[in-house]
């Protein structure tokens, strides 16, 4: 199995990839919904899902293509991913989080040094918004973002617009996931009369 197949198996086994008819927080509809936390609740599966990512990063470090000093994940989704990648890469790992105004920032005494090379870690990258906000907060402190890593890349080219979904750093994903992403009025599943669920509001 390739990395994507392995990761999809882990997501399915963990109940982290649901198939059906979903209303997303964006208001769009999809045939799949990812709740990566359900995979990450199992430390052995988190380690297995991220091992290929860590291996590719280590290979690029060894080849002189990449240099990393620390791993930083945007809360909540990035915290466990950053921790696990930090563990596998032998690097410190910490996180950014939103302050009272909603701005992504470093709290709890976490600091970056000027020129420190940061790997951003995420669970699922859909638009890359929280990663870019986290990166901006770190760059404002003088850090340099060297790459981004995630469990699942589910960016939908053409749906969010190229400028919004562009990731300006080397990108390491355990899996690239495909999911439909319809405007509500264009939803193929609505056209078939199938009821949708809003993840988070019920059992998921
Ligand atoms: Zn629908």
Q: What is the DSSP string of 63-130?
A: TTS---SEEEEETTHHHHHHHHHHHHHT--EEEEEE-TTS-EE--TT----TT-EEEEEEEEESS-HH
Ligand 1 geometric centre to CA of 75 (Å)? 29
Q: Name the pTM for this structure.
A: 0.87
> What is the average per-residue pLDDT within 175-189?
90
Q: What does the block give as tokens for 178?
A: 């495909």
Ligand 1 geometric centre to CA of 78 (Å)? 29
Ligand 1 geometric centre to CA of 179 (Å)? 13
Q: Which residues of 25-64 are buried (b: 16+ CB within 10 A; e: fewer)?
A: eeebbbbbbbbbebbbeeeebbebbbbbbbebbeebeeee
Ligand 1 geometric centre to CA of 33 (Å)? 13
Q: What pLDDT is recorded for position 196?
A: 96
Bond into 60 cis (ω within 30): no
Ligand 1 geometric centre to CA of 174 (Å)? 28
Pairing of strands 29-34, 17-23: antiparallel
* pLDDT single digits (tens) 138-169: 999 999 999 999 999 887 654 444 445 578 89
Ligand 1 geometric centre to CA of 94 (Å)? 38
Q: What pLDDT is recorded for position 162?
A: 44
């Amino acid at each position: 199995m390739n990395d994507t197949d392995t990761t999809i198996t882990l997501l399915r086994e963990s109940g982290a990839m649901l198939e059906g008819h979903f209303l997303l927080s964006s208001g769009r509809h999809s045939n799949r919904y990812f709740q990566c936390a359900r995979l990450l609740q199992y430390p052995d599966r988190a380690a297995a899902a991220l091992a290929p990512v860590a291996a590719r990063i280590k290979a690029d470090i060894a080849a002189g293509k990449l240099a990393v000093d620390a791993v930083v994940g945007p809360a909540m989704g990035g915290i466990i991913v950053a921790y696990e990648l930090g563990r596998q890469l032998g690097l410190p790992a910490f996180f950014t989080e939103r302050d009272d105004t909603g701005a992504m920032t470093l709290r709890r005494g976490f600091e970056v040094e000027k020129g420190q090379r940061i790997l951003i870690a995420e669970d699922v990258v859909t638009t890359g918004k929280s990663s870019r906000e986290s990166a901006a907060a770190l760059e404002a402190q003088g850090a340099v973002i060297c790459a981004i890593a995630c469990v699942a890349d589910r960016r939908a080219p053409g749906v969010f617009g190229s400028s919004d979904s562009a990731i300006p750093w080397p990108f390491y994903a355990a899996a690239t996931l495909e999911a439909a992403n319809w405007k509500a009025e264009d939803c193929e599943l609505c056209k078939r009369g199938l009821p949708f669920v809003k993840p988070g509001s019920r059992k998921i």
